[in-house]
A and B are shown apart, each in its own frame.
Chain A
C-alpha cells in the first residue's frame, strides 16, 4: 500500500507525495446524518486499510467543528474522528503505528495544516494526540 491523502472538495491544498499511511481531511459543510455517516464510514474503511498494513493515520478537522460551532452533524464527525483516533492509537502502539488528530483554526494555510499532518504521520513517537494549529482552542472546553 502506498500512502493515501484524502482532501475534500473546497480545500485548496496540493497533496504532497506520501510513501505510507493515511491523512484524512474531514469534509466541511456536513449537515445531515446521511452525510455524517458517509464521512465516518469512509474514515473507518481507509483507517482499517492503513492499520492492516501497519501504517499510521492522521485525521484533520476544523477546530470550530470540534467545538460544536458548525452544527451537530459536523461536530459529530469531528469529535467522532478524534475519539476514533485515540482508540486506533491504543491499538497501533504495540505494532509501531500511530494515530493522531490535527485541529486547525479558520484562516490557517491549508498547505501548512497538511504539512503538520504529514510530519505527525512520519514522526512515529507521538500518538493519540490532538494537535491544534492556531490559538482558537485556548480557554475552550475540549477533552
Chain B
C-alpha cells in the first residue's frame, strides 16, 4: 500500500486530521491541498497551496502527485465551505461560491486525477448529512447532494479498478460547527441519539477504512457518520 494520497482542504479541521491520520497510519505519502497557508504547519505532508477553483488548480495537484514518483492510491475530496441563509434570502454570490468550491473543485480534481489512480486505489468524497436536507443550507445541501451523485457515477465509471465512496458527516467538532451559537449547538446535540458531536478523528478513521483493502468490496456507498441523527 505504499503510494500517494491527495487530501483537499488539508490545512484545518477535519481535512487536517484526515491528512495527518493517513500520514501516520499509511504507509502513504500525503499530498495536502489547501488555499490556506496553515498547510505548511503539518510536518511530513507535501503541501500544495492553491485555489482549487482556479483553472490551473487540478493540474498543479496532478504535477505534485507525479513528482512523488509513487503510484496514486487515493483522493480525498474534503475541501468545503458554508454560506448559510434561507433560500429566499440567499444571494447569487453565496450560492455560486459554495457550489464552485464544494462541487466544482471536486469534480474537476476527480477528472484530472482519475486516470492516475492505480488499480486498487479509491476516491473518498466528504459529503455531509445535509444532503438529506437542512434548513438554511440550500446551496450547501445541493453541493453535497451533487457530490453524492458524482460518487455513484464515478463508482460505475471507474470500476472494477478504482472504488469511489462518500462519507456524510453529521455534527462534528470542527471550526465549522464550533462557529454555531452555543444555544443552537446544544439543541442540535440534544437531537443526536449518541448525545455528542462527532470527533474529526472518527471521520479520518472512516476515510482510512474506505481507502484500505479492508473495504475492497465497497463502492458507490454513502456512509453517514452522525451519531444516529438521521433517526430522530
Using CB atoms and an 8 Å cutoff, list the residues of chain A in contact with chain B: 33, 36-37, 40-41, 44-45, 47-48, 51-52, 65-91, 128, 141, 143
23 inter-chain pairs at a CB distance below 8 angstroms, sorted by A residue, are A37-B99, A37-B104, A40-B146, A44-B90, A47-B138, A68-B150, A68-B151, A68-B156, A70-B153, A72-B110, A72-B150, A75-B150, A77-B149, A79-B146, A79-B149, A80-B149, A83-B133, A83-B148, A86-B133, A87-B141, A87-B142, A90-B134, A90-B135
Assuming the A-B contacts A67-B152, A80-B145, are A33 and B135 also in contact, with contact meaning beta carbons closer than 8 angstroms in the complex? Answer: no
Report the interface size class on chain B.
Answer: 35 or more
Q: Which of B135, B153, B157 meets A91, CB within 8 Å?
A: B135
Check A87 against B137 for contact (C-beta < 8 Å): yes
Check A72 against B130 for contact (C-beta < 8 Å): no
Distance A81 CA – B138 CA, assembled complex (angstroms)? 10
Instruction: Name the A residues within 8 Å of B104 (CB-CB).
Output: 33, 37
Check B153 against A80 for contact (C-beta < 8 Å): no
- Of chain A, the residue at the smallest CB distance from B139 is A44
Check B95 against A41 for contact (C-beta < 8 Å): yes
Check B150 against A143 for contact (C-beta < 8 Å): no
Q: Which of A52, A75, A82, A128 meets B153, CB within 8 Å?
A: A75
B81-139 interface with A by 8 A CB criterion: 86-88, 90, 92, 95-96, 99-100, 103-104, 107-108, 110, 130-139
Q: Which of B87, B108, B153 meets A69, CB within 8 Å?
A: B153
Check B88 against A48 for contact (C-beta < 8 Å): yes
Instruction: Name the B residues within 8 Å of A68 (CB-CB).
Output: 149-156, 220
Check B149 against A76 for contact (C-beta < 8 Å): yes
- Of chain A, the residue at the smallest CB distance from B152 is A68
Assuming the A-B contacts A44-B138, A68-B220, are A79 and B148 also in contact, with contact meaning beta carbons closer than 8 angstroms in the complex? Answer: yes
Check B138 against A143 for contact (C-beta < 8 Å): no
Q: Which of A41, A65, A87, A88 meets B130, CB within 8 Å?
A: A87
Check A80 against B156 for contact (C-beta < 8 Å): no
Distance A128 CA – B92 CA, assembled complex (angstroms)? 23
Instruction: Name the B residues within 8 Å of A80 (CB-CB).
Output: 103, 142-143, 145-146, 149
Q: Which of A52, A84, A91 meets B145, CB within 8 Å?
A: A84
Give the most central of B99, B135, B138: most A CB within 10 Å: B138
